[in-house]
Amino acid sequence: MAEEAILGYLENHEEIADSGEFAATRGIDHNDVVNVIKSLHGFRYIEAQDIKREAWVLTDEGKKYTAEGSPEVQLFLAVPPEGSISKDELQKMFDPSVFKIGCSQAGKNKWVEMGKQVSRKVQHVEDKVKDLLLRIQDGQAIDKDGINALKARKLIVSQTWKGYSLRKGPNYAPKRKKVATDLTRENLQRGDWKELEFKEYNFNAKGQPAEAGHLHPLLKVRKQLKDIFLQMGFEEMPTNNFVESSFWNFDALFQPQQHPARDSHDTFFLKAPSTTRTLPEDYVERVKCVHESGGYGSRGYGYEWKREEANKNLLRTHTTAVSSRMLYVLAQKPFAPKKYFSIDRVFRNEAVDRTHLAEFHQIEGLVCDRGLTLGDLIGVLHDFFSRLGMSKLRFKPAYNPYTEPSMEIFSYHEGLGKWVEIGNSGMFRPEMLLPMGLPEDVRVIAWGLSLERPTMILYGIDNIRDLFGHKVDLDLIKRNPVCRIGIN
């Protein structure tokens, strides 16, 4: 419709001076006209010149009054023609802002007498404000005073309006010709390709978005972290077993068998196979001893350690289970210092909410060498986290059954303007290391954190269910940018 109107008009007229007026007088939406202009211009049916002008448009408040009437008229109409109404009663009939504006404008216009009681001073009023707003909405001109009054009440704002003036172009025709888009075999056989007019290539047209694989944010951040560990000279530990025995997950870590984390509320135990088949027997014996009666300068926990409890299979609750296996293996050979890391999935029987899932990924690093101190741990943590863009760190004393001392790690988050907890760390206890057979002066410093937390901060995701699990929006995965590490 817009296309016929434009081409038809230009057949008998020099120009269309203003696409806005042209659209308005024919009752066509200007946006439709603009689209047609762009297309006709592309095929050079018409020449188009930009025109811009300042136009007044209604604010939301202005739009509201075109429907409901101005507040002063609404208020006036609520005052009875004879007698009066109490101000309190009147107030109850309106939104606070309508009431306030209504009172002040109706008072200013000398329409009503305002006191404890409100009464009319005139019997008839006109809603000039509403009329002016309606005229602006229709694109009609109104005088300067009207504009100023509406502008002062923030009922209208000025906006740049863009349109076109149009003339015939070099390819002008009163009707658009059908152009061929493909050269077919039939065209060639019939020979009609000689007469056919072909559509020109549009080199500005966007092509189909290329389909390709996309990396999940967790994978990207995991890769970045892995690179950091590798740059720092760490080796990756094998984490390819989600199922672990309680022994390696808890007992080897000097976590007593009554510890609440070993409850089925916090841990997923396996029904089948419910128990492990093999454990290194002599080491199991030393672990039993250290739990029951201590040794290596420790008093132990003084309870009766049960093998059945240690045999129970579970989904590992932390990757520290992997660390304990690796340290045990290390202890069976002549000692050599090691730096190990792992990043993999762990499972906890937790209530699911915005920040918790029953499974997540843990990042763990450890350094094993003679004579390491807490100072070494703090130094390594500064090195590690500053590579993640977190250079302001603070530590808080904490408790883990397998580390002493233990420290929670906090980082200052510039965006949030506060300290946020980012991980947990400590020095593995002698009760854990010595039964394995590690030399007495060997110390192990270690830390752990979740992969989800930094990923959510980096990608601005505030609900973990949007990041992981069956509710993830695949578009988010496709759209998210290539990861840049640097949390602050």
Q: Which of 62, 448, 451, 455 binds ligand PHE (CB under 6 A)?
A: 448
In degrees rounded to 5, what are phi and psi of residue 243?
A: -85, 130
Rounded Cα–Cα distance for residues 87 and 110 (Å): 16
How many residues touch ligand PHE under the rule CB under 6 A: the total is 11
- Only one of the segments 146-154, 234-242, 283-291, 419-427 lies at the binding site for ligand PHE (rule: CB under 6 A); that segment is 419-427
- The verdict on 324 binding ligand PHE (CB under 6 A) reads no
Going by DSSP bridges, is the β-strand pair 243-245/313-315 parallel, antiparallel, or unpaired?
antiparallel
Asked whether 425 and 446 are in contact (CB, 8 A), the reply is yes
Given the complex with ligand PHE, which of 62 and 426 has the nearer CB atom?
Answer: 426
For residue 197, give every residue at least 6 positions away whose Cβ sits within 8 Å of its Cβ, in sequence order, or none.
177, 179, 180
Least separation in angstroms between CB 258 and ligand PHE:
19
- Minimum separation from the CB atom of position 225 to ligand PHE (A): 15
Alpha helices in 93-184, H assignment, sequence order = 96-108, 128-137, 144-152
446 is a contact residue toward ligand PHE (CB under 6 A) = yes
Q: Considering beta carbons, is residue 22 or 247 the nearer one to ligand PHE?
A: 247
364 interacts with ligand PHE by CB under 6 A: yes
Strand partners, 395: 409
Least Cβ distance, residue 478 to ligand PHE (angstroms): 32
Q: Please name the residues in contact with 189: beta carbons below 8 A apart, sequence gap of 6 or more.
A: none
In the complex, the smallest distance separating the C-beta of residue 340 from ligand PHE, rounded to whole angstroms, is 11
Question: What DSSP assignment string belongs to 330-345?
Answer: HHTSS---EEEEEEEE
Q: Binding of ligand PHE at residue 403 (CB under 6 A)?
A: yes
CB of 60 to ligand PHE, least distance (A): 50
- Could you tell me where the DSSP H helices lie in 363-483? 374-387, 430-436, 452-459, 474-479
| 318 binds ligand PHE, rule: CB under 6 A | yes
Specify the residue, 120 or 318, whose C-beta has the smaller distance to ligand PHE.
318
> Residues 206-212: contacts with CB within 8 Å, 24+ apart?
none
Q: Using the minimum distance from each CB to ligand PHE, give the nearer residue, 390 or 446.
A: 446
* Binding to ligand PHE, residues 62-91 (CB under 6 A): none
Region from 267-275, 307-315, 350-358, 442-450 binding ligand PHE, contact rule CB under 6 A:
442-450
Within a 10 A sphere around the Cβ of 25, how many other Cβ atoms? 8
Check residue 400 for interaction with ligand PHE (CB under 6 A).
yes
Task: State the residue number with the nearest CB to ligand PHE.
Answer: 448
Q: Nearer Cβ to ligand PHE, position 198 or 399?
A: 399
CA angle, 221 then 226 then 231, to 5°: 125
Burial of 82 (0-12, 13-18, 19+ CB in 10 A): exposed
331/363 with CB nearer ligand PHE:
363
Of the pair 23, 321, the CB lying nearest ligand PHE is at: 321
- The dihedral through the CA atoms of 305, 306, 310, 315 has a sign that is negative
Q: Which of 453, 385, 387 is nearest to 395 (CA)?
A: 385
Nearer to ligand PHE, 99 or 447 (CB): 447
Binding site for ligand PHE (CB under 6 A): 318, 320, 364, 400, 403, 424-426, 446-448
